[in-house]
Amino acid sequence: MAEVDLLRALPKVARNIRQRESGKSDEVIAIAKQFGEDYFDGAREYGYGGYRYDGRWVPVARDIVAHFSLKPGMRILDVGCAKGFLVKDLMQVCPGLEAFGIDISDYALAHCAPEAAERLQRASADALPFPDGSFDAILSINTIHNLDREGCRRALTEMMRVVRQPEKAFVQVDAFRTSAEKKLFESWCLTALTYLTPDEWVALFAEAGYRGDYNWTILETAG
């Protein structure tokens, strides 16, 4: 179990936190939480402001393959795969790797990368539709914090159930270290129900029996 930055190759995303905060309302939050067209491909106030394939996950996929020593014929699951871009890129950088994804969003799955379409299905992170020990590796990036604390616990336990070796797992979740980071996060966040300090997350990992690697998505204050 270690803190590891598997997303280090992703370009940094520009966030206009003031603009997001001023546009936030109960209605905007309710729309974002549907994880539909508005969240992925609508205006930035509802979420991504356009979630399109641009190859940015290719180097991340390479790092994941190296980190877990993945080989052709092995199976990996992306929990919260959205449009399946990482699933597609994992199979591209490691031909023969069997990559799969689940997501709660009908919209994302209906607009997924065609190369991944047959490997994606609709499911919730806290009830994975796979038998025990189905995968050689499992990851979940910026997804499980959309469940409440008990849902996060179930999702982490589910990840451990469907992976063969508990250390072949990675989860990235929203976190804050200081009250300033918490405030910044609350100004930005639309969908997360559970955001904790790293120590609180580590305690939740222990509660859930999660023994994989992890990292935090933290919005940092300038200066």
Ligand X SMILES: C[S@@+](CC[C@H](N)C(=O)[O-])C[C@H]1O[C@@H](n2cnc3c(N)ncnc32)[C@H](O)[C@@H]1O
Q: Which residues bind ligand X (CB under 6 A)?
A: 35, 80, 82, 103-105, 108, 124-125, 141-143, 146-147
Q: How far is the CB of 166 from ligand X (least distance, A)?
A: 20
Contact between 151 and 126 under an 8 Å Cβ cutoff? The reply is yes
Question: Which CB sits closer to ligand X, 35 or 205?
Answer: 35
Segments of the chain assigned E as strands: 75-79, 98-103, 120-122, 137-141, 169-174, 213-217
189 residue type, one letter: C
Q: How far apart are the C-alpha atoms of 151 and 140, rounded to whole Å?
A: 14
Cβ 141 to ligand X shortest distance, Å: 4
Residues for the chain: how many in total?
223
What is the distance between the alpha carbons of residues 218 and 123, in angstroms, rounded to a whole number? Answer: 27
Based on CB atoms, which residue is closest to ligand X, 70 or 192? 192
For residues 4 and 54, what is the distance between their CA atoms, to the nearest angstrom? 24
CB of 216 to ligand X, least distance (A): 14
Q: Which is nearer to ligand X, 35 or 195 (CB)?
A: 35
Least Å distance, CB 94 to ligand X, is 19
Tokens of residue 51, six digits: 């979630």
* CA–CA dist 90, 96 (Å, integer): 10
103 vs 181 by CB, closer to ligand X: 103
Residue with tokens 């490691």: 94
The nearer residue to ligand X, 82 or 159, going by C-beta atoms, is: 82
In the complex, what is the shortest distance from the CB of residue 223 to ligand X, in angstroms, rounded to a whole number? 27
